[in-house]
Amino acid sequence: MTSWRSVLARIPLHVVIIAFALLWLLPTLGLLVTSFRTPSDIFGSGWWTVLAHPFDFRQYTIQNYIGVIYRQGLGRSFLNSLLISVPATFLSAFVAAFAAFAFAWMEFPGRRALFMLVVALMVVPLQMTFIPILPIYRRLHLSGTFPGIWLAHTAYGLPLTTYLLHSFISNLPKDIFDSASIDGASPLRIFFHIVVPVSVPALASVLIFQFLWIWNDLLVALIYLGATPNVAPVTLTVANLVTNRGQNWELLTAAAFVSAALPLVVFFSLQRYFVRGILAGSIKE
């Protein structure tokens, strides 16, 4: 009887949550439906008219996606975004994990001051760094190259990723490190054999954060890569579509879903690690 009462008491809350979720998803649904419609249908009727006969596949077309991927260069840009995001994400997480372990458990002069300096860098606007760094990039011939954008994204992401990993690693039991040191394990061995396996949820969260930020980035890519089609990421190509083809809604909506496909796959496939990593280190046991 008590269980039924608790279930009935939660029904209004669930109804409200579902209603808000549907309202939140409504624009996305409209964008998705529009991406499969012809230009004449888009300008002739609203996207919601499709819902009257949702399984009538004659009213849908995939020509928008074919045009955007092959003729507008989004396929090449998608590959460029992969070549930018994957190495930069793993490089940032790898360096941040080393730094977080050092700040949490290794003794060296100025450790606290240096860690506070790294955390303070999170409040520095990216725009302030472009003018002093760009001349260095030009002299080193890093502008417009993938290694250059990898270094930029790694440097910009390190303060946040280091802070997040430090919050988790610093809460690991001290006895583990003491026992490993007594057994003769070096700091490098402790890091790879103890810290990394235990910190998988936190590392997964950092990887998701960093990957989504790099994949959706436009400003850093525009500054350090420029508008060269050979290295332009998907965000830059979509931005150019908006500028050059502001009236072609069918191409813009298809491009939006192509650019959002991989981040959605990454987030939902690693969602359980994401939640565990966010909560990790927030409460000390």
Nearest CA-CA partner of 191 in 272, 111, 95: 95
Nearest CA-CA partner of 214 in 162, 152, 265: 152
Summarised one tens digit per residue, pLDDT across range 213-245 is 999 998 899 899 877 778 889 888 888 776 655
The pTM score is 0.82
Q: Is 67 exposed, middle or buried (0-12, 13-18, 19+ CB in 10 A)?
A: middle
Residues of the chain with pLDDT under 70: 1-3, 7, 242-247, 273-285
Summarised one tens digit per residue, pLDDT across range 203-215 is 888 888 899 899 9
* Domains within the chain, CATH numbers bracketed: 2-61 (no CATH), 67-279 (1.10.3720.10)
Summarised one tens digit per residue, pLDDT across range 11-47 is 888 888 888 888 888 888 888 888 888 887 877 777 8
